[in-house]
């Protein structure tokens, strides 16, 4: 029943505004400043409220939900520590362009600035890590503010928006009117690319002998994977993807070179180094991709397509910028190319790429009877055949996952990229599982990152979510240990977890989950089959893998593609 025109208090306006936005799931934790909303939620039948066990978990769950669906993720927390506990998740969403609206309670208006109980200036704290934020000063502005927040979060380059709501604003009443449209002065995202720039891009494609499509997460956000596929397939152009771009183009397609960058494939990085046309689609030239920007693709003509004009030339100067929505720009580019198709023969280019593949294939020792993370990840990929949502944490396992798991569909790979947040995977996978019910949702973590938010297993168990929690346990902070081994003379300072790690099977069982464990390669197949077949609730599987393994290839931080390391330099070392 419509509440438009009725006299409602702020808490009721909050819920009705979410109804207007089509929100059906929110992640939150109650507290004094938002009790007015929770009082109304008690009888609310159109919103599924997920009670988390920590507010950071709420933010990451909303991220996982948003990345799995393309919808805006919604968070509701109280003031002070409730609000500040969301900061890591907000920063993570900001770096990875994830649409969130975070609602925080605040002390009553007259107490703001008085150091009242559970007061924090969350607007000031989050100003650098939100796309925009609001402090509601008048209940009459609440509905329109919520409308603006969802519009800002979901349009242009997506991102998090925060609304801080003083407790008295939730109790005051006004007539409820929800705007049909929003017009924000100075905020007009460009959708269509400039026609002359698109013509120039088409001409560059026709001229190139060694083209390369460099694909970022913007393709996934724009829903432009179909257009990308057509562009690549029409002319047989190789495609390399960033960490966030994985799945935008099928990794099993012969045109896919996999991921580029610090731990990308050797052939993707060499193709980047030697291409004569580099077309960046929704990617921001971050440092983990470029290394030394002075030498990055130095001989290539660079085209950058991005909806965010501030991303153009920010890290790497390009020759041809195109500002616009990727789906629209690629559609126009395909039309332009159809009128005069690309006629180039790229056989010599593909011969070079194949030589790089042959020279440095992805490989690991699989003959010494020890269990390795790469083996487990490869087996997961073989069993799910691209039909799963895989959520990784941060560290070595994250990079191995990009190498050994084949992502063939958009929104099938969810991870923390820009901020590199350990503890992301467990809650983000739970958030994704509330949206994805037709495919397995698999969370993959190292033993270090898993412990940062393992309390959210309780949330998964309470809702009987069939999330598959995988721990690749090497009893170390593996990626930090790798850097200590390579660049800090093997001084493994405070990275050994072997003496303090808990029994993860017992942890799982204590939190209401099924727990399994193995350290044998011979048991991996059967254990994974059991994990994938178990759908009565969450299941945790621990794989005790070797401690000393390192992730290669690796471009040293700040180095160029030519500095790529494909193995440990001293062959006598155990690693």
Query: How confident is the model at residue 429, as a pLDDT?
Result: 99
d(CA 467, CA 535) in angstroms, rounded, equals 8
Q: What is the mean pLDDT of the chain?
A: 96
72 and 103 assigned to the same domain: yes
314 and 435 assigned to the same domain: no
204 and 136 assigned to the same domain: no
Query: How confident is the model at residue 571, as a pLDDT?
Result: 37
Structural domain contains residue 530: yes
- Return the closest-CA partner of residue 251 out of 238, 261, 263: 238
355 and 397 assigned to the same domain: no
Query: How confident is the model at residue 343, as a pLDDT?
Result: 82
Structural domain contains residue 298: yes
Say which CATH number the domain at 18 has: 3.40.50.970
Length of the chain equals: 575
314 and 387 assigned to the same domain: no
Structural domain contains residue 381: yes
Q: What is the pLDDT of residues 392-451, one digit of tens each?
A: 999 999 999 999 999 999 999 999 999 999 999 999 999 999 999 999 999 999 999 999
Query: How confident is the model at residue 5, as a pLDDT?
Result: 81
Q: What is the pLDDT of residues 272-329, one digit of tens each?
A: 999 999 999 999 999 999 999 999 999 999 999 999 999 999 999 999 999 999 999 9
Domain end point (choices 359, 381, 408): 359
**Which strands form 256-259's sheet, in the order they lie side by side?**
256-259, 239-241, 211-215, 277-281, 301-306, 320-323
Structural domain contains residue 348: yes
Q: Which residues are annotated as catalytic?
A: 55, 117-118, 167, 479
E strands, 118-194, where? 132-135, 160-166, 173-175
Domain end point (choices 334, 359, 384): 359
**Which residues face 213 on adjacent strands?**
239, 279
Domain end point (choices 175, 204, 237): 175
Give the whole-number percent of the chain exceeding pLDDT 70.
98
522 and 421 assigned to the same domain: yes
Query: How confident is the model at residue 1, as a pLDDT?
Result: 59
Structural domain contains residue 135: yes
- Return the closest-CA partner of residue 477 out of 523, 532, 420: 420
Say which CATH number the domain at 291 has: 3.40.50.1220
- Return the closest-CA partner of residue 66 out of 32, 101, 31: 101
12 and 59 assigned to the same domain: yes
351 and 244 assigned to the same domain: yes
Query: How confident is the model at residue 342, as a pLDDT?
Result: 86
d(CA 211, CA 265) in angstroms, rounded, equals 17
121 and 210 assigned to the same domain: no
216 and 275 assigned to the same domain: yes
Record the tokens describing residue 321, joined without a space.
């910028």
CA distances from residue 224 to 33, 49, 328 in whole angstroms, order as listed:
41, 32, 8
- Pair 454, 542: CB distance under 8 Å: no
Q: What is the pLDDT of residues 36-51, one digit of tens each?
A: 999 999 999 999 999 9
Q: What is the pLDDT of residues 54-94, one digit of tens each?
A: 999 999 999 999 999 999 999 999 999 999 999 999 999 99
Structural domain contains residue 126: yes
Give the whole-number percent of the chain exceeding pLDDT 90.
94
225 and 123 assigned to the same domain: no
d(CA 155, CA 153) in angstroms, rounded, equals 6
Q: What is the pLDDT of residues 460-500, one digit of tens each?
A: 999 999 999 999 999 999 999 999 999 999 999 999 999 99
Residues with Cβ < 8 Å from 198, sequence gap 6 or more? 322, 329, 332, 333, 336
Which region holds residue 543: left if phi is over 0, alpha if psi is between -120 and 50, else beta?
A: beta
Q: What is the pLDDT of residues 11-28, one digit of tens each?
A: 999 999 999 999 999 999
208 and 138 assigned to the same domain: no
d(CA 303, CA 321) in angstroms, rounded, equals 6
Domains in the chain: how many in total? 3
Instruction: Identify the domain containing residue 220 by its residue range.
Output: 195-359
- Return the closest-CA partner of residue 100 out of 204, 21, 43: 21
Structural domain contains residue 139: yes
Q: What is the pLDDT of residues 125-180, one digit of tens each?
A: 999 999 999 999 999 999 999 999 999 999 999 999 999 999 999 999 999 999 99
Is residue 568 very low, low, confident or very high in pLDDT (cuts 50, 70, 90)?
low
With a cut of 90, say whether residue 567 has pLDDT above it.
no
Structural domain contains residue 439: yes
Q: What is the pLDDT of residues 522-556, one digit of tens each?
A: 999 999 999 999 999 999 999 999 999 999 999 99
Give kind and range of the element (H or E) at residue 438. Answer: none
């Amino acid at each position: 029943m419509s509440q438009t025109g009725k006299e409602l208090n702020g808490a009721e306006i909050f819920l009705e505004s979410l109804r207007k936005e089509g929100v059906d799931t929110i992640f939150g934790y109650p507290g004094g400043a938002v009790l007015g909303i929770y009082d109304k939620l008690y009888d609310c039948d159109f919103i599924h409220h997920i009670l988390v066990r920590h507010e950071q978990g709420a933010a990451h769950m909303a991220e996982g939900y948003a990345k799995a669906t393309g919808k805006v993720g919604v968070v509701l927390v109280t003031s002070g520590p409730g609000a500040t506990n969301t900061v890591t998740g907000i920063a993570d969403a900001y770096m990875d362009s994830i649409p969130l609206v975070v609602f925080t309670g605040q002390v009553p208006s007259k107490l703001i600035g008085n150091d009242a109980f559970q007061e924090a200036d969350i607007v000031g704290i989050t100003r650098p890590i939100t796309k925009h934020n609001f402090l509601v000063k008048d209940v009459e502005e609440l509905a329109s503010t919520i409308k603006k927040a969802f519009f800002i979060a979901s349009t242009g380059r997506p991102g998090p928006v925060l609304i801080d709501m003083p407790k008295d604003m939730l109790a005051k009443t006004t007539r409820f009117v929800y705007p049909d449209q929003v017009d924000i002065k100075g905020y007009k995202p460009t959708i269509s690319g400039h026609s002359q720039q698109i013509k120039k891009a088409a001409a560059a494609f026709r001229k190139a002998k060694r083209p390369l499509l460099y694909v970022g997460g913007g393709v996934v956000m724009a829903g432009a994977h179909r257009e990308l596929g057509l562009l690549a397939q029409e002319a047989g152009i190789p495609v390399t993807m960033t960490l966030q771009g994985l799945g935008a183009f099928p990794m099993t397609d012969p045109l896919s070179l996999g991921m580029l960058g610090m731990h990308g494939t050797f052939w993707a990085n060499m193709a980047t180094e030697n291409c004569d046309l580099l077309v960046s689609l929704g990617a921001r030239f971050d440092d983990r991709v470029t290394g030394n920007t002075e030498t990055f693709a130095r001989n290539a003509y660079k085209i950058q397509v991005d909806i965010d004009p501030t991303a153009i030339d920010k890290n790497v100067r390009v020759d041809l910028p195109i500002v616009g929505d990727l789906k629209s720009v690629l559609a126009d580019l395909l039309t332009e190319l159809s009128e005069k198709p690309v006629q180039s023969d790229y056989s010599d280019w593909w011969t070079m790429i194949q030589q790089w593949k042959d020279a440095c294939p992805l490989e690991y020792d699989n003959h010494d009877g020890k269990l390795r993370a790469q083996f487990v990840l490869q087996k997961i990929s073989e069993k799910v055949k691209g039909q799963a949502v895989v959520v990784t944490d941060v560290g070595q396992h994250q990079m191995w996952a990009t190498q050994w798991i084949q992502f063939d569909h958009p929104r099938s790979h969810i991870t923390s990229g820009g901020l590199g947040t350990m503890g992301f995977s467990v809650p983000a996978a739970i958030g994704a599982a509330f949206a994805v019910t037709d495919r397995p949702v698999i969370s993959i973590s190292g033993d270090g990152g898993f412990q940062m938010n393992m309390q959210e297993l309780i949330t998964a168990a309470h809702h009987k979510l069939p999330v598959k929690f995988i721990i690749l346990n090497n009893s170390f902070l593996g990626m930090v240990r790798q850097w200590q081994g390579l660049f800090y003379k093997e001084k493994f300072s405070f990275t050994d977890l072997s003496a303090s790690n808990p029994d993860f099977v017992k942890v799982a069982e204590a939190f209401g989950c099924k727990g399994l464990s193995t350290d044998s390669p011979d048991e991996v197949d059967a254990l994974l089959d059991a994990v994938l077949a178990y759908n009565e609730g969450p299941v945790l599987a621990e794989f005790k893998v070797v401690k000393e393994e390192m992730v290669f290839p690796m471009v040293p931080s700040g180095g160029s593609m030519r500095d790529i390391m494909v193995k440990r330099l001293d062959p006598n070392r155990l690693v």
